[in-house]
């Protein structure tokens, strides 16, 4: 019989630090748990869980043509209108100060406001309307993939939009004026493209119209 019986010095202690430190930590990896199996225990119907096909990553649709027609139209028309109002307002300020009938302050102010409102709103409305027409025609050319039929002339959508915008805006003035306006539109787009090519600027990098 051991002499340590009853003294607390013999036998295996109830808790051994060395044996506890050698015990492996349980693996709590839950990647193998099927949600459809444990979901009913939490009151979640299995039918509401995503299937294996739906659990795949969702990818956003990439539109190679860029923004949609409506988004492009709002952007182009907004920038064009504000630019037209600003330029027309500055011109109206100059005209109002130059053509004021009196040197009195109130008369000058009234003349400036009249000229700014007349020239600013007129130029803003014109540029906004042409921007809307240009955006619609450019979107139409992109939707019908006009670039597949023009061969080396790339990109054809801005040229088509410039020609049709000028022709449509002045169509009430007669076919000759409309044709001339369409030619001016094509020349403006082509000149911008040529200048950007010489300067090494990516065409359409400004995000407004054909700039």
User: How much is the pTM?
Assistant: 0.66
Cis bond before residue 155 (omega within 30° of 0): yes
Q: Tokens at residue 98, please?
A: 């130059």
Dist. CA 55–CA 51, nearest whole Å: 6
Helix intervals (H) in 15-155: 17-21, 35-38, 69-98, 105-143
Q: Write down the pLDDT at residue 23.
A: 67
Neighbours of 114 (CB within 10 A): 15
Dist. CA 180–CA 172, nearest whole Å: 13
- Each residue's pLDDT, cut to its tens digit, for the chain (211 residues) gives 445 444 444 555 555 555 555 666 666 666 666 666 766 776 677 666 666 544 555 555 545 456 788 888 999 999 999 999 999 999 999 999 999 988 899 999 999 999 999 999 999 999 999 999 999 999 999 888 888 888 888 889 999 999 999 999 999 999 999 999 999 999 999 999 999 989 988 877 788 888 8
Please give the full DSSP string across 42-80, using - where no structure is assigned: GT--GGGS--TTTTSPP-PPP-TT-S-HHHHHHHHHHHH
């Amino acid at each position: 019989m051991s002499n340590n019986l009853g003294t607390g010095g013999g036998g295996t202690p109830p808790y051994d630090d060395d044996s506890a430190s050698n015990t492996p930590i349980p693996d709590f990896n839950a990647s193998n748990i099927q949600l459809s199996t444990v979901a009913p225990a939490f009151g979640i119907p299995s039918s509401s869980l995503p299937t294996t096909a739906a659990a795949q990553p969702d990818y956003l649709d990439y539109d190679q043509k860029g923004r949609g027609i409506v988004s492009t139209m709002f952007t182009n028309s907004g920038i064009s209108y504000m630019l037209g109002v600003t330029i027309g307002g500055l011109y109206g300020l100059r005209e109002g100060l130059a053509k004021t009938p009196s040197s009195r302050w109130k008369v000058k102010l009234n003349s400036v406001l009249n000229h700014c409102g007349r020239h600013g709103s007129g130029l803003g409305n014109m540029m906004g309307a042409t921007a809307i027409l240009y955006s619609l025609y450019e979107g139409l050319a992109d939707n019908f993939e006009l670039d597949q039929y023009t061969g080396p002339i790339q990109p054809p959508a801005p040229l088509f939009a410039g020609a049709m915008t000028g022709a449509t805006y002045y169509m009430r003035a007669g076919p000759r004026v409309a044709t001339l306006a369409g030619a001016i539109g094509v020349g403006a787009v082509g000149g911008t493209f040529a200048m950007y090519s010489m300067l090494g600027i990516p065409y359409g990098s400004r995000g407004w119209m054909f700039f």
